[in-house]
Structure 1
């Protein structure tokens, strides 16, 4: 775990020292030696981390102390660099107004201070070097640097709740019956081609239990079968030997072999297995696969003999399943946690298996339900906790004690530590850069739906994301998040129209595990006011209950080295941030996030002194004015003002040359649940923010009219997301088109008028629309849809409001083959008929039609929108018949009607003659006023 801190130092912070040209050459040499020694330590630090945690290791305490020293020196390097750069910035500046003599004295004084700072950092670096060399020497002295393979160390016996899963009786299996039927169907299909069935899910979700149940039911239909446990540290030769042993094949060679003979032996083993399987139907189950290389190791042995070979894999990693696709057909089954009903059944079966007829006594139901809810459907946890409770007295006090102390019990109780260990396997398998990203999720409160864009921007501000050639940091961070999802460590809560993860969360027990690791590593601390103070090394704080915490924080927190401060509560924080000591208390902050803390009225006056601050959010607060000192935050990359009370930004914002994301929006709800978006007003010169990638929403103002606004926007050529709101009559035609022409990287554009039914946009002058544009939103009157829309081959989302189009827009849009969502609302179309012809919109999944005053006919030909999943029809009062051809939408999952005429309502009821055309839809929602 120290590898997290050390990895960040080697990859991100050491290069900063090399870039400090003012340092002496001898210091650069010292830094090079430090980097070299740290890289050597880093090579075996992961194994040392594991060894420090292993309770069965006789040298555990010594290794643990050594690992802690490595972590501390990493923190020390980080602090030295951040303190040094901060002091350089805070040096007094030379001002000409003092006159030549006084100005010269100021210049001399500044030079003297700089020399002192250089001397100090040289001294610090020399001390750090001595410490690093001492750590290295100590590791060699005690043999810590001879660590190679963690699999050989674990001599300590611990209770593994999974062991009994392969011996479960049929009656003991709960909640996986339907899952098994699907897998059996895949294994027993008539195809003669080899295929792989991959059961993917988080640790403890029941993959092995399901696989064993299916395996036992199908093996009688195959000529031969084998069950092999793989695990993290498998060896390819051992794997082949296990296969030969399961098939009762004789060994190929003796035990004394050279490297060349090893290769020859591998070939002989593969050929022997292939020969055995040549004319057989076989099924082989590989349990607990971790590495993507696994498939390459066994695919040639389990060759495709065209007899119907079947391979079952259980794994926590989606990429393991995906890698099999290179040479075999793969069925992937995503294993989900149990629902509450099945969770309750499993809990009662285990906790009361020999008492009360397997039923929970009335007096224990309250705490039993709470305990089951804490498990969040994870069979591993339910079985282990219920099994422990089965040994306890069946009293409310015993049940309450376990519920109230579950977190500590998971760490210390021998019957429950196995849960944490099993969950930790997925964490331990991560590279260090993903470990820090995963641990950061533990900074969020329990059951919190995490906005992925927010999380990614925080990761970037923390320095967790490594830059890659030809990719933005945001794209790399998105890849990191996808990998965490594929490793079953992060659960997807909400997906965007384009398929990206929009909101995510982690299982409560994974969060418990990450919170423990965060505290042990000093990585961060989710802090409650009744808990003990964070340690002096704690780097990050998140506070979910801050009714009085922050007002006393200065006297309670001894560390001045906090890098992130996240506030999640919705009330209780008041004007304490007006105190001018805030920047002194948190002088090295990189992330300051108040999102959702609705009682925050003001920002600290001295916030501009937070030189290292990269992320600042007052989203959802009552902050109205940003202090002018905000212009001093020269490293700021994200400024999030969404749903706050900030309406106008000071001109000092224009100095923030590294600002990448400027987010502001305020929603006003209008009649019929429609809404109007307001943005933020900027000052002349904001075009200097050349690094901006996202700017939404911005609006014209008295000081910056439309022409001036467009002139400034034209300079922001790196923009990927732009939102312009509250344009007035005749605004934004030619100048808007000229502006967009310059934005070659634009992916999302939102343009909105103040009065929806006025002629606002004339967009035919756009000569070369951005080729990467994926999302387009218009709100305002259009003469017609501009022809250039047909050139947007990557367009996935199109929303049109209030356009008053006379011609059927489907005819113009029908060649947008990548369109996923289409929304037309607020009289976007004034015609009577919409016609979706055969072959249009092959990828379209969501269609929303709202407030079409004249629409009386909706025709859907067979073959149109073949993948449509949701169709919403709202406030279309003249649409009195069921849309013609709706029966062709075989993938439709949700059909929603709101405020429709009685004739249409009657046609959709069971007794109506049109009911049969929608009865195949899983969900039909009628919301009738």
Structure 2
């Protein structure tokens, strides 16, 4: 894929080769002492890169090759770290050299620096040649051509996920489960007061988690105290108990029960068990414990549950009957629910629904091979979705499908479900184009069962360098969206939510697929996970991408100097010092209520930072002034903030910043500094509270002619004596932007007179280039007058909480 700068297979070789090539292209004689060494190093790495790409297509390259590939990937990161260190030390802050070449020139101004870089390059070349000599078989083969992009999500893929739900879930044969849970909700007798325990047992891939999660979603609203978490193999019992405690305690009881964010850290397991049990006594609760592997784990947890408690419910899932029996033995009101594989008829329906349109039938030449493939899937819904997702990217020929069948393996239908799933997921992974491998493995940084926003994920991919920004973030985002859609179409990720236009805007990863991704990512040292149950950092590995979750604590022996991506999930772990992460490209905090201003004080030292995200970091009151020193920052996201956050005016100095998102969810809306309108590279700007901004800001907003998406908020209570002038200026700015490059306009109004659209159409009656228009509020009108101007409109959402004029109603009725 053009522009896939970094990848799972080749590490950082591509960006390293590009940086070295940039050095060779310099016209000045000052590079003459090192030019030959740089050229040899670039050639050596380019040849190695071609071999790595070739080997990445092999499912099992052999232990010797696998170790060599890992060594070369690690070397590529080390080389890029060295180049980045040059950049860090080269910059004279007073002169502020801009860009890689300028910083290198600054570095070479003195002889000492010149000799140092020459020695470093000689050392790096020697390391590359040593790596090559350990494996003499690399050759400069052609890079495989990535499969064509699929521009949108295939409706058949979405329909297939719905069908899985119906076949194994509430609306299908296994709807019996929810009736079992509701069985004791009416009538009288002692059973009504007993906690109901249902243990779902079945082999891997049969849909236990899907079924349990659906039931949980349907019933959770009936319970004030609830928790859903994955236990998994080799669990951290204390961590699980802490998670349950934080989930079941209601907000109003939080301080009294937990007594501070970090108190539960010092509690032992027995103390936590007692604390949870005492809190739940006499209360109605609903707990889902997914993926319990052994009896000992259940026995370590079970005492937190009072078994006579107002009709409470516990669901567990497991692969073993012994665990299911032990879970149900804890209550006189227990029941084992066996989930069975799909019948061949249901398997065929699911398979065909993904691969053929509703009006199509399976071609006769594919019927026999389809049956043979389905036999290997053994009625496992996940296996069927994965293999049909793989086949969806192939031509519908007997030869292509027969090759896939042979790759699955002979006699697989007689193997365990875990072996079936492992083989099919491995086949699906190695069938991916190079760029999609990295995008898929990156999902391992998120906690299990996490709902991942599409925009969040794509912007992270761009920040990580998996998708090149050669033509700007907007173009890169379009490529990222195609990668996202491709992974859905291949059934490797599942759609989780839809936006206002019913397009997929978030995803989840099936727990079995997630386990596979984590295993592969750790094997290739792609990520390091702290706090994921059963996963421990491998001693001696350099940390490249770090994810901290589930109250995880960074081991003191972990070396953090090479981390390029730091991702923190949750509000109960300590925030590490940013001084330890000088080479960061991506910094993201998700739901970190403990994050405060002083934790971000050193962000100005992260000179390579491309992506900064603060999501529900409510204790942060301002971004540091030093944020303006981040010359490579392309995306700044601030989401879900319930207080005003101060954004420094100097942020306009970040010339590459193309996406600034300040979505706020309460009545307090961020005031953006006037100088933001000097950021001519800006492509996305959301959360602009018009009446809180200065007239100068609103007037100059129309100068951001590269803006692609604009979100505005009109709140009448914020209107001051200048509101009429602001109103006129925003109408003028909207017109200028729509005549330039603005594609998407979102308007939200609250207690606002509904004349905005009327005024825009009257004052500027020329056609507008918008492709997407969202208008929401208590009273909006003027669509009829505006409609004739929207000649390129593709998406429209018009939502009024109160009245809509008859004229607008007629306009909406006339839409094709």
**Superposed CA offset, 1:202-243 (max 9, x none):** x999785579xxxxxxxxxxxxxxxxxxx99xxxxxxxxxxx
Paired position in structure 2 for 1:103 = none
Paired position in structure 2 for 1:736 = 730
The answer to whether residue 345 in structure 2 is matched with residue 177 in structure 1 is yes
Residues 190, 802 of structure 1: CA spacing in aligned structure 2 closer, same or farther, 3 A cutoff? closer
Instruction: For 1:569 and 1:65, locate their aligned partners in 2 and report how far apart those are by CA, in whole Å.
Output: 35
Q: Residues 301-312 of structure 1 correspond to what in structure 2 (within 5 A)?
A: none
**Larger helix fraction of residues:** 2
C-alpha displacement of 1:476: 0.6
Paired position in structure 1 for 2:648 = 650
- Give the one of 59, 67, 78 matched to 2:69: 67
RMSD: 4.7
Could you tell me which runs of 5 or more consecutive residues in structure 1 were left unpaired when the two chains were aligned. 96-106, 150-160, 163-170, 212-230, 233-285, 299-311, 317-379, 387-415, 669-675, 818-929
Residues 517, 180 of structure 1: CA spacing in aligned structure 2 closer, same or farther, 3 A cutoff? closer
Instruction: For 1:192 and 1:77, locate their aligned partners in 2 and report how far apart those are by CA, in whole Å.
Output: 54
Paired position in structure 1 for 2:782 = 784
Residues 296, 713 of structure 1: CA spacing in aligned structure 2 closer, same or farther, 3 A cutoff? farther
Paired position in structure 2 for 1:798 = 797
Paired position in structure 1 for 2:507 = 504
Preserved CA contact (<8 Å) 1:692 1:716: yes
Paired position in structure 2 for 1:629 = 626
The answer to whether residue 696 in structure 2 is matched with residue 708 in structure 1 is yes
The answer to whether residue 36 in structure 2 is matched with residue 42 in structure 1 is no
- SS of the residue corresponding to residue 484 of structure 1 reads helix
- Give the one of 682, 685, 694 matched to 1:695: 685
- Give the one of 495, 501, 504 matched to 1:492: 495
**Superposed CA offset, 1:820-875 (max 9, x none):** xxxxxxxxxxxxxxxxxxxxxxxxxxxxxxxxxxxxxxxxxxxxxxxxxxxxxxxx
Instruction: For 1:472 and 1:461, locate their aligned partners in 2 and report how far apart those are by CA, in whole Å.
Output: 14
The answer to whether residue 564 in structure 2 is matched with residue 563 in structure 1 is yes
Q: Residues 174-213 of structure 1 correspond to what in structure 2 (within 5 A)?
A: 174-175=342-343, 177-178=345-346, 180=348, 208=377
Paired position in structure 2 for 1:168 = none
Preserved CA contact (<8 Å) 1:790 1:815: no
Residues 138, 426 of structure 1: CA spacing in aligned structure 2 closer, same or farther, 3 A cutoff? same
Paired position in structure 2 for 1:454 = 456
Paired position in structure 1 for 2:189 = none
- SS of the residue corresponding to residue 584 of structure 1 reads helix
Paired position in structure 1 for 2:442 = 440
Preserved CA contact (<8 Å) 1:790 1:816: no
Instruction: For 1:519 and 1:184, locate their aligned partners in 2 and report how far apart those are by CA, in whole Å.
Output: 35
Instruction: For 1:618 and 1:802, locate their aligned partners in 2 and report how far apart those are by CA, in whole Å.
Output: 31
Paired position in structure 2 for 1:464 = 466
**Superposed CA offset, 1:588-629 (max 9, x none):** 111111121122222321111110111111110121111111
Residues 6, 49 of structure 1: CA spacing in aligned structure 2 closer, same or farther, 3 A cutoff? closer
Instruction: For 2:360 and 2:508, locate their aligned partners in 1 and report how far apart those are by CA, in whole Å.
Output: 39
Greater relative contact order (CA < 8 Å, ≥ 6 in sequence): 2
Preserved CA contact (<8 Å) 1:525 1:534: no
Preserved CA contact (<8 Å) 1:774 1:797: yes
The answer to whether residue 580 in structure 2 is matched with residue 585 in structure 1 is yes
- Give the one of 449, 468, 474 matched to 2:477: 474
Instruction: For 1:510 and 1:184, locate their aligned partners in 2 and report how far apart those are by CA, in whole Å.
Output: 22
Paired position in structure 1 for 2:394 = 292
State the TM-score, normalizing by the size of structure 1.
Answer: 0.55
Paired position in structure 1 for 2:274 = none
Residues 198, 666 of structure 1: CA spacing in aligned structure 2 closer, same or farther, 3 A cutoff? farther
Instruction: For 2:610 and 2:389, locate their aligned partners in 1 and report how far apart those are by CA, in whole Å.
Output: 44
C-alpha displacement of 1:540: 0.5
Instruction: For 2:55 and 2:126, locate their aligned partners in 1 and report how far apart those are by CA, in whole Å.
Output: 21
C-alpha displacement of 1:474: 0.3
- SS of the residue corresponding to residue 546 of structure 2 reads strand
**Superposed CA offset, 1:796-830 (max 9, x none):** 2322436754434132234443xxxxxxxxxxxxx
Preserved CA contact (<8 Å) 2:528 2:546: yes
Paired position in structure 1 for 2:185 = none
Paired position in structure 2 for 1:916 = none
Paired position in structure 2 for 1:685 = 675
Instruction: For 1:463 and 1:599, locate their aligned partners in 2 and report how far apart those are by CA, in whole Å.
Output: 29
- Give the one of 126, 129, 136 matched to 1:133: 129
Residues 460, 117 of structure 1: CA spacing in aligned structure 2 closer, same or farther, 3 A cutoff? farther
Preserved CA contact (<8 Å) 1:730 1:759: no
Paired position in structure 2 for 1:31 = 38
Could you tell me which runs of 5 or more consecutive residues in structure 2 were left unpaired when the two chains were aligned. 97-102, 144-203, 206-338, 381-385, 406-410
Instruction: For 1:526 and 1:772, locate their aligned partners in 2 and report how far apart those are by CA, in whole Å.
Output: 43
Preserved CA contact (<8 Å) 2:107 2:113: no
Preserved CA contact (<8 Å) 1:759 1:780: no
Instruction: For 2:621 and 2:71, locate their aligned partners in 1 and report how far apart those are by CA, in whole Å.
Output: 46
Instruction: For 1:147 and 1:795, locate their aligned partners in 2 and report how far apart those are by CA, in whole Å.
Output: 44
- SS of the residue corresponding to residue 686 of structure 2 reads strand
C-alpha displacement of 1:184: 9.3
Instruction: For 1:70 and 1:77, locate their aligned partners in 2 and report how far apart those are by CA, in whole Å.
Output: 10
Instruction: For 1:184 and 1:780, locate their aligned partners in 2 and report how far apart those are by CA, in whole Å.
Output: 46
Paired position in structure 1 for 2:710 = 722
Preserved CA contact (<8 Å) 2:707 2:741: yes
C-alpha displacement of 1:450: 0.5
Instruction: For 1:45 and 1:148, locate their aligned partners in 2 and report how far apart those are by CA, in whole Å.
Output: 11
Instruction: For 2:616 and 2:368, locate their aligned partners in 1 and report how far apart those are by CA, in whole Å.
Output: 41
Paired position in structure 1 for 2:806 = 807
C-alpha displacement of 1:46: 4.3
- Give the one of 512, 518, 522 matched to 1:515: 518
Instruction: For 1:754 and 1:92, locate their aligned partners in 2 and report how far apart those are by CA, in whole Å.
Output: 46
Instruction: For 2:600 and 2:728, locate their aligned partners in 1 and report how far apart those are by CA, in whole Å.
Output: 42
- Give the one of 4, 9, 32 matched to 2:7: 4
Preserved CA contact (<8 Å) 1:679 1:696: no
Residues 146, 34 of structure 1: CA spacing in aligned structure 2 closer, same or farther, 3 A cutoff? closer
The range that moved more, 617-626 or 460-469, is 460-469
Instruction: For 1:382 and 1:296, locate their aligned partners in 2 and report how far apart those are by CA, in whole Å.
Output: 21
Preserved CA contact (<8 Å) 2:615 2:638: yes
- SS of the residue corresponding to residue 489 of structure 1 reads coil
C-alpha displacement of 1:51: 6.8
Paired position in structure 2 for 1:428 = 430
Instruction: For 2:752 and 2:142, locate their aligned partners in 1 and report how far apart those are by CA, in whole Å.
Output: 68
Residues 64, 194 of structure 1: CA spacing in aligned structure 2 closer, same or farther, 3 A cutoff? closer
Please say which structure displays the higher CA radius of gyration: 1
The answer to whether residue 746 in structure 2 is matched with residue 745 in structure 1 is no
**Superposed CA offset, 1:120-151 (max 9, x none):** 332222222222233333322xx5669999xx
C-alpha displacement of 1:111: 7.0
C-alpha displacement of 1:510: 1.8
**Superposed CA offset, 1:439-466 (max 9, x none):** 1001111111110100000000011013
Instruction: For 2:493 and 2:445, locate their aligned partners in 1 and report how far apart those are by CA, in whole Å.
Output: 14
- SS of the residue corresponding to residue 600 of structure 2 reads coil
Residues 651, 195 of structure 1: CA spacing in aligned structure 2 closer, same or farther, 3 A cutoff? farther
Preserved CA contact (<8 Å) 1:459 1:465: yes
Residues 122, 767 of structure 1: CA spacing in aligned structure 2 closer, same or farther, 3 A cutoff? farther
- SS of the residue corresponding to residue 791 of structure 1 reads coil
Instruction: For 2:678 and 2:450, locate their aligned partners in 1 and report how far apart those are by CA, in whole Å.
Output: 37
Preserved CA contact (<8 Å) 2:500 2:797: no
Preserved CA contact (<8 Å) 1:443 1:524: yes
The range that moved more, 693-702 or 588-597, is 693-702
Instruction: For 1:476 and 1:87, locate their aligned partners in 2 and report how far apart those are by CA, in whole Å.
Output: 34
Residues 146, 473 of structure 1: CA spacing in aligned structure 2 closer, same or farther, 3 A cutoff? closer
Instruction: For 2:369 and 2:807, locate their aligned partners in 1 and report how far apart those are by CA, in whole Å.
Output: 46
Instruction: For 1:37 and 1:721, locate their aligned partners in 2 and report how far apart those are by CA, in whole Å.
Output: 44
Instruction: For 2:760 and 2:369, locate their aligned partners in 1 and report how far apart those are by CA, in whole Å.
Output: 49
